[in-house]
Homo-oligomer: A and B are copies of this chain.
């Protein structure tokens, strides 16, 4: 006998398999290939578990952060990954992503659709401590990969340290320690020629 809720959930779970085919700009740490958004989401959830002690205000709901990170990029399935340093792509990013969120989450039973939509919107609004922590990790992770891959993606796109420093502010906002660390990483990246100075 078919269970309607389970059928909807399985349909959704197969649909989101496509996140594994959304290519990001960042390369893996060893520079061998570009990262995809599904493995990126896994990496962020691992970071959320291990780095939460460094938050200035550690009173967060880690489970909510993890759910948020697992779903935050699902909207790229239709909208594609919009490069952080592409001002034109950023313009209509929200509209494209909202259309995808509506399509995907509607596959689910009603209260799960509402939960995931609310989590995604919380992430996009970036106001709650959980959303801010998730956003900070989403900025820190590509920096770590870019640095490990000797700035390959930064160099390919002619990125300057000022652009990376501007994105880094979201990290310092939730954690002085992670903020200091990421600023140091950017300085190091400039010193090693992975990233252009100023700009």
Which residues of A approach B to under 8 Å, CB–CB?
1, 3, 5-6, 9-10, 12-14, 16-21, 28-30, 32, 35-36, 38-39, 41-43, 45-47, 49-51, 53-54, 62-63, 66-67, 70-71, 108, 112, 144-145, 148, 177-178, 180-181
Which B residue sits closest to A38, measured CB to CB? B39
Contact of A39 among B3, B20, B32, B45 (CB under 8 A): B20
Enumerate the 6 nearest inter-chain pairs by beta-carbon distance, A residue then B residue, closest first. A42-B42, A38-B39, A17-B29, A63-B63, A20-B39, A39-B39
How many copies of the polypeptide does the oligomer hold? 2
Task: Please state if B46 and A45 are interface contacts (CB–CB under 8 Å).
Answer: no
Q: Measured between alpha carbons, how far is A66 from B69 in the docked complex, in Å? A: 12
The DSSP consensus for interface residues of chain A is helix
